[in-house]
């Protein structure tokens, strides 16, 4: 209870509504128009050090297929992300492949021989085992740590400013983009669930007040694992290519998202084996990975920026996604789920 009050106090620190001028009558731009007109100050640079570049083999017409992944910032999933940085630095994925494409679910890549001890490619030294508890964070503990840390970086403070400003428990205070509350119950455990969904720091999250976690929206990247929850190293990764499979939230680690080249993952031929794995005996062909590199090793990588989820343009954009009033639309929906508000990302202009 004390936790909830503390959180509520923090969350009301910067009411977002105050930033939003009311729309003029007839002034109902589309989400794309809002994004196109957002001032430069409402865009936020993506840290180049958080980028990972995967080059697939060229397509049938010889066109390059580059996929750019942005890794989650601290305090999320840092054990797996540390492993992924080591794997990329070791060029571990080079020559491996996309091994699975299951329609309306995931595209997965890694070592096709990963399950075969005799043939599996050896992992680099220094990878850590990460516990299940790291699928989520405790937002109160993290906020408290930050408050006590005089050396907190601007990036860290900013991440939490988002959390504090985006959601308010007083719906009257945030008319434009109330964090939707999802409720449910599990009659077997007797628990009732209630979760907030929102964006902050440029990412989609959900929270049940005592825990917070990134959510499985289209294009998010996660860590494949075996049955025990601590078995995912980060060597086997997947991205969501269909309707958000939210059942995976808190059951598997998310580490980032694809910010460019998503179409190279979503348009691959579907696999004909079990769970959409490519089955060579059924005529499937795996898609070769030429290389995966940290941005530091990629000479020709542009800079990227996202529409700052803590700025007025994003609030307007999210509101327009929830209530389309541009000319094609007749009836605004009155609401939108967090995964239907993809965070706009572009090359720096």
- Shortest Å distance, C-beta 296 to a copy of itself: 28
Output the CA–CA distances (angstroms, integers) from residue 150 to 100, 143, 144, 147, 162, in the order listed: 46, 13, 12, 8, 19
Which tokens is 276 given?
């959409």
Of 116 and 186, CB closest to a copy of itself: 186
- Residue closest to 221 by CA, chosen among 260, 259, 255, 264: 255
The residues, ordered by sequence, that sit 6+ positions from 278 with a Cβ below 8 Å of its Cβ are 98, 99, 100, 101, 271, 272, 284, 285, 286
To 10 degrees, what angle do helices 139-147 and 154-166 make? 130
Of 288 and 332, CB closest to a copy of itself: 332
CA dist., res. 280 & res. 153, Å (int): 49
Binding-site string for a copy of itself from residue 9 to residue 38, where x marks contact by CB under 8 A and - marks none: --------------x---------------
Of 107 and 165, CB closest to a copy of itself: 107
Binding-site string for a copy of itself from residue 42 to residue 61, where x marks contact by CB under 8 A and - marks none: ------------------xx
Part of the chain binding a copy of itself (CB under 8 A), chosen from 72-80, 153-161, 177-185, 286-294:
177-185
CA dist., res. 294 & res. 296, Å (int): 5
Of 178 and 214, CB closest to a copy of itself: 178
Q: Which of residues 179-208 bind a copy of itself (CB under 8 A)?
A: 180, 182-189, 191-193
- Shortest Å distance, C-beta 274 to a copy of itself: 10
- Shortest Å distance, C-beta 299 to a copy of itself: 25
Q: Which of residues 95-154 bind a copy of itself (CB under 8 A)?
A: 101, 103-104, 132
Q: Which of residues 222-281 bind a copy of itself (CB under 8 A)?
A: 227, 229, 241-247, 249-251, 262-263, 266-270
The residues, ordered by sequence, that sit 6+ positions from 117 with a Cβ below 8 Å of its Cβ are none
Of 218 and 314, CB closest to a copy of itself: 218
The gap between the terminal CA atoms of the chain, to the nearest Å, is 47
The residues, ordered by sequence, that sit 6+ positions from 98 with a Cβ below 8 Å of its Cβ are 56, 107, 108, 109, 265, 268, 278, 286, 287, 289
CA dist., res. 330 & res. 296, Å (int): 48
Of 25 and 150, CB closest to a copy of itself: 25
Output the CA–CA distances (angstroms, integers) from residue 121 to 118, 232, 324, in the order listed: 9, 15, 50
Of 151 and 183, CB closest to a copy of itself: 183
- Residue closest to 349 by CA, chosen among 35, 130, 53: 35
How many residues in the shown chain lie near a copy of itself by CB under 8 A?
65
- Shortest Å distance, C-beta 305 to a copy of itself: 20
Of 17 and 143, CB closest to a copy of itself: 17
CA angle 224, 226, 229 (to 5 degrees): 85
Residue 87 found at the interface with a copy of itself (CB under 8 A): no
- Shortest Å distance, C-beta 212 to a copy of itself: 14
Of 164 and 215, CB closest to a copy of itself: 215
CA dist., res. 327 & res. 194, Å (int): 36
Which tokens is 312 given?
């007025």
Of 74 and 171, CB closest to a copy of itself: 171
CA dist., res. 295 & res. 152, Å (int): 24
Q: Which of residues 311-340 bind a copy of itself (CB under 8 A)?
A: 321-325, 327-337, 339-340
Interacting residues with a copy of itself (CB under 8 A): 23, 60-61, 101, 103-104, 132, 171, 175-176, 178, 180, 182-189, 191-193, 217-219, 227, 229, 241-247, 249-251, 262-263, 266-270, 283, 321-325, 327-337, 339-340, 342
């Amino acid at each position: 209870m004390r936790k909830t009050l503390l959180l509520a106090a923090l969350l009301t620190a910067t009411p977002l509504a105050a930033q939003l001028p009311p729309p003029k009558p007839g002034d109902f731009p589309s989400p794309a128009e809002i994004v196109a007109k957002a001032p430069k100050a409402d865009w936020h640079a993506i840290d180049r050090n958080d980028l990972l570049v995967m080059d697939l083999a060229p397509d049938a017409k010889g066109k390059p297929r580059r996929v750019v992944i942005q890794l989650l910032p601290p305090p999320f999933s840092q054990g797996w992300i540390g492993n992924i940085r080591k794997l990329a630095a070791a060029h571990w994925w080079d020559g491996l492949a996309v091994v699975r494409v299951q329609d309306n679910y995931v595209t997965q890549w890694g070592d096709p021989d990963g399950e075969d001890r005799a043939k599996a490619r050896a992992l680099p030294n220094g990878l850590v085992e990460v516990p299940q508890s790291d699928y989520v964070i405790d937002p109160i503990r993290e906020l408290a740590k930050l408050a006590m840390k005089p050396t907190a970086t601007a990036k860290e403070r900013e991440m939490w400013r988002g959390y504090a400003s985006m959601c308010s428990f007083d719906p009257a205070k945030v008319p434009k983009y109330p964090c939707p509350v999802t409720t449910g119950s599990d009659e077997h455990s007797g628990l009732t669930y209630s979760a907030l969904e929102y964006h902050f720091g440029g990412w989609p999250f959900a929270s049940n007040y005592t825990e917070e976690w990134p959510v499985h929206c289209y294009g998010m990247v996660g860590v494949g694992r075996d049955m025990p929850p601590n078995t995912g190293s980060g060597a086997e990764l997947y991205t969501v290519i269909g309707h958000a499979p939210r059942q995976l939230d808190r059951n598997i680690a998310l580490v980032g998202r694809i910010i460019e080249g998503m179409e190279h993952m979503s348009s691959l031929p579907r696999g004909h084996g079990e769970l959409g794995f490519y089955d060579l005996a059924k005529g499937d062909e795996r898609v070769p990975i030429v290389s995966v590199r940290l941005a530091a090793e990629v000479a020709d990588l542009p800079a990227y920026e996202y529409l700052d989820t803590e700025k007025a343009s994003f609030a307007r954009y999210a509101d327009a996604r929830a209530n389309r009033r541009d000319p094609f639309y007749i009836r605004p929906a009155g609401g939108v789920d967090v995964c239907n508000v993809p965070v706009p990302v572009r090359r720096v202009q």
